[in-house]
Amino acid sequence: MNGTSETVGTLEILTWAQAASTSNEVVAMFWNKLRDAVNEPSTASAPRILSELQAYGGNTIVNFFREGGVAYEQVAYDVADALRPMFDARVFAEGDVSACETFVLRRMEISEDDLRKLGAAVEGHGMKNAVSAQVTKASGIAAVEVGGVVAAQQVAKVAATAAGKRVIAEAGKQIAKRAAKEAAKRVAAATAKQVLARVVLGLNILLAALTLVSLAGPARRVTIPGVTYVALLRRLHGAAQMGF
């Protein structure tokens, strides 16, 4: 099967995650766990991490006779199939990354409500924002330092007019919106910690059980958590594009 299109999509997501992890706590949690899963250091690039996950995928029991890496969608399918309870029908198909990852997240007991709350922490945090976050922050600080006094004088003049009052009222609404967003981000961060703890526990239990029946060799001990974290980052990436 030709997995080029999905592999490119996954690489884009991991590239976004690497950039966003420098300024977003929730993305950083799952990005760091993905790095740990494939045994890569903090300096590892998104292409390197994806390549490692694919290489481990090429060494699973199902792909025993393959050499080198395989397409990500094959890795995702293999993981979903390994997590499928015996005798249960497959609700996913090879090549359908979305269905495979959804099944994996469900096996990790991650609900859609969890995912919605996590998404609140990254909405509007698209690639451009992720890459330029630090630059924007630095520029903003410089602008305040240079123009603070002048800005204060202008605000005082405008505030005395009817138009100024409308501006101030609108500013108040914007401040309230930002406060609500910040509150949602705090909830999302707390949810992320809970989800991460549940995922780690779930992975430990599943891997221990699968090891007993010889379904979780060294490679799957990497690919199962690897696909889980990629699936979570894919959902976060989707949320990040909202309003961007």
**pLDDT given for residue 130 in this prediction:** 47
76 pLDDT more than 90: yes
Burial class (CB in 10 A: 0-12, 13-18, 19+), 232: buried
Length of the chain as a residue count: 244
182 pLDDT more than 70: yes
Higher pLDDT among residues 4 and 11, named by residue: 11
The 8-class DSSP code of residue 25 comes to H
- Element of type H or E holding 110: none
- Residues 116-162: tens digit of each pLDDT: 888 877 766 555 544 444 343 444 433 344 455 555 555 556 556 76
Instruction: Give, in degrees to the nearest 5, the angle at Cα 180 between 174 and 182.
Output: 105
Give me the residue spans of the domains in the chain: 4-129+174-240
